[in-house]
Structure 1
Amino acid sequence: MYTPAAFRQDDLGELHRQILACRLATVVSQGPSGLQASHLPLLLEPGEGQFGTLYGHFARTNPQWRDLAEGAEALVIFQGPEAYISPSWYPAKAEHGKVVPTWNYIAVHAQGRAEVFEDGKRLLQLVSRLSDHHEAGRAQPWAVNEAPREYLDAMLRAIVGFALPIEHLQGKWKLGQNRSAADQAGVRAGLAASLDPRDRELAARISADHSAEAAP
């Protein structure tokens, strides 16, 4: 991921928080069949390894898991809030007009090689944890053990799990750090006034005390 120094996020805690906030990750790998990508919910174990370990599962009929089983490196993309940035929000537009549109966003990329597993007990633990994580907060959360055991066993035979220790971790917080403080404030106000909740989500991430370097 192209990451200019102004946008680079190196704080491991912030990177982990963004991973945890992303409900659906994109797992990309390359094998004999070429590039493949799957969209998967993942769990993060922050304390396992230097940068943490990711856990998830593929449908057994998805050929991508075989690439990982054969040692292919995987790139996992966690997309955060993003929004179009209008030049009309920059005070600099009124000063000299030398402004153009851009896109602001937060993204995390994790890379590593996975251990693939098919053990039923381990798979049951994984899907139980995933379900518990996403059911948390519901008035009547569903649990894996509510499904009939015969049905559950059949479902477990239809998936393949993986554990991916993160070997490389990159974060990009493109929030206008290369603009003046006034331009950043204009962007924050413009996004906050939008009717689109995705714009307002990004506005909340551009904090009032976020440091900005004046554009060269």
Structure 2
Amino acid sequence: MYLPRHFQMESLEAQHALMRRYPFATLVTVSSAGIDANPLPLLLNACRGEHGVLEGHVARANPLCQQPPDHAMALFHGPDSYITPNWYPAKREHGRVVPTWHYLSIQAHGTLRFIEDTDWLRSHVAELTDRFESDQTAPWSIDDAPAAYIDGMCRAIVGIEFHIERLAGKHKAAQHKDDATRQAVHEGFMTAGWDEGRAGWLSGQTGPERND
């Protein structure tokens, strides 16, 4: 990933904040069978290892389980948006502006471990469900389904532990622009109907560094 100094997200806390807020990742693996990519949610356990451990699962029928990868990379994508030159004050001043794209992204490099332990899988599925049901009026729980049914579903999956060895984070917004430009971009997002949080992240006004 091309990573200019002014777009580097160096803080581990900021990287973890983005991974928690946008947990749906693309798991890219390299093995003798070639390159593969699997989209899936990965939950961060920041208390394990120097950079944390990601936990997820794939279908037992997924070829990934049959061919242990030599290398793995998990790609996390935060909010992103096209930026029109019409938002820039410089367009009215001298016109020397062009479109661009603002985004936040994390690359996690590491190794995979496959898990078939029944207790681990059930605990993982319960945690995953609780995480994404938390904003529901009446959150669903795996205990709402027959235990035998959940056990059968767990037998159809294989757990993944992704041990992070290296992280690279990029926050490409308008951090290198002047205050007037950042404010103008922020106002452009707000006028377009974006919420304050995403507008702040993509205008360089705020970001995961402040856990906004």
TM-score, structure 2 as length reference? 0.90
Residue 202 of structure 1: aligned partner: 198
User: Within 5 A, what are the aligned runs for 1:1-216?
Assistant: 1-67=1-67, 70-195=68-193, 197=194, 201-205=197-201, 206=203, 208=205
Q: How many pairs align?
A: 206
Q: Deviations over 1:157-211 (max 9, x none)?
A: 110001111111111110112322222222111111114x48x65322236479x
TM-superposed deviation, 1:77: 1.0
Q: Contact 2:72–2:111 at 8 Å: present in 1 too?
A: yes
Please, which runs of 5 or more residues in structure 2 have no aligned partner?
A: 208-212
Work out the CA distance in 1 between the residues paired with 2:41 and 2:19: 11
Work out the CA distance in 2 between the residues paired with 1:194 and 1:118: 47
Report the 3-state secondary structure (helix = DSSP H, G, I; strand = E; otherwise coil) of the residue aligned with 1:97.
coil
- Name the aligned partner's letter for residue 174 of structure 1: K
Work out the CA distance in 1 between the residues paired with 2:60 and 2:36: 15
Q: Contact 2:9–2:171 at 8 Å: present in 1 too?
A: yes
Provide the aligned C-alpha RMSD in A.
Answer: 1.8
- Name the aligned partner's letter for residue 183 of structure 1: T
Report the 3-state secondary structure (helix = DSSP H, G, I; strand = E; otherwise coil) of the residue aligned with 1:114.
strand
TM-superposed deviation, 1:99: 0.9
- Name the aligned partner's letter for residue 27 of structure 2: V
- Name the aligned partner's letter for residue 98 of structure 1: R
Report the 3-state secondary structure (helix = DSSP H, G, I; strand = E; otherwise coil) of the residue aligned with 1:129.
helix
Report the 3-state secondary structure (helix = DSSP H, G, I; strand = E; otherwise coil) of the residue aligned with 1:76.
strand
Work out the CA distance in 1 between the residues paired with 2:42 and 2:89: 41
TM-superposed deviation, 1:108: 1.1
Report the 3-state secondary structure (helix = DSSP H, G, I; strand = E; otherwise coil) of the residue aligned with 1:64.
helix
Work out the CA distance in 1 between the residues paired with 2:43 and 2:206: 31
- Name the aligned partner's letter for residue 62 of structure 1: N
Residue 213 of structure 1: aligned partner: none
Q: Contact 1:58–1:159 at 8 Å: present in 2 too?
A: yes
Q: Contact 2:31–2:69 at 8 Å: present in 1 too?
A: no
Please, which runs of 5 or more residues in structure 1 have no aligned partner?
A: 211-216
Q: Contact 1:37–1:64 at 8 Å: present in 2 too?
A: no
